[in-house]
């Protein structure tokens, strides 16, 4: 089982899942021994204002995975220059953001966020012919999404791909494991709780 600490950037600050601000020292204390960090940059996703200076600071100590909805290849270059090791693409417009052009620019891992695929298609459609290194699902309210279409789709993705699921309740690990999920994005303040529950 693979647990990856998750933090959210909002209004230029890192915040916990409960909305409390997180200082850099607090972050180091919470990181335990893991050197990887998943950054969900709300400012970039909703306002197209990525927190590049925070990426730079964190990349000095951690391998950062950036979920910031790049609009074009130049955004990807910015994220790369700011220290991203892995990037997450969302609803990219193929006329602006071509996965194959990105592959020419960098050999970093590229993941695809599937949140909108589940919302719009009920989990029954996705083009797997694209060359992604893995997939991410952030919006995972287990009580709302339990159905056969969703579970079948998750099983298929988890079986054949690196698939990371966000959850902030360690009790849901049993549900995700039943679907074959082995990789979890976990709020950084709950990483120790998840490790105790998981092992």
Name the residue ranges covered by the structural domains of the chain.
2-198
Please name the CATH architecture into which domain 2-198 falls.
Alpha-Beta Barrel (3.20)
Q: How many residues does the chain have?
A: 199
Query: CA–CA separation, 199 vs 99, rounded Å?
Result: 37
Confidence band (pLDDT; 50, 70, 90) for 117? low
Strand 134-137, strand 84-89: pairing: unpaired
Average pLDDT over residues 28-36: 76
Closest CA to 59 of 27, 30, 32, 19: 27
pTM (two decimals) = 0.88
Percent of the chain with pLDDT over 90: 37
Query: CA–CA separation, 170 vs 196, rounded Å?
Result: 9
Cα angle: 107, vertex 112, 113; to 5 degrees? 145
């Amino acid at each position: 089982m693979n647990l990856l600490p998750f933090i959210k950037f909002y209004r230029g600050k890192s915040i916990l899942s409960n909305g409390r601000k997180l200082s850099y020292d607090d972050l180091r204390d919470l990181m335990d021994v893991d050197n990887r960090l998943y950054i969900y940059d709300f400012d970039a996703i909703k306002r197209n204002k990525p927190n590049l200076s925070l990426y730079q600071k964190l990349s000095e100590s951690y391998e950062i995975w950036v979920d910031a909805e790049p609009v074009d290849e130049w955004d990807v270059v910015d994220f790369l220059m700011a220290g991203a090791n892995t990037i997450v693409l969302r609803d990219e417009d193929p006329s602006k953001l071509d996965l194959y052009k990105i592959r020419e620019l960098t050999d970093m891992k590229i993941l695809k966020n599937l949140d909108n695929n589940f919302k719009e298609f009920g989990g029954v459609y996705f083009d797997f012919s694209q060359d992604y290194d893995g997939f991410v699902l952030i919006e995972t309210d287990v009580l709302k999404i339990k159905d056969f279409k969703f579970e079948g789709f998750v099983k298929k993705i988890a079986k054949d791909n690196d698939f990371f699921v966000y959850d902030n309740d360690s009790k849901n690990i049993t549900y995700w494991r039943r679907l074959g999920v082995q990789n979890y994005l976990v709020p950084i303040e709950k990483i120790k709780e998840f490790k105790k529950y998981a092992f």
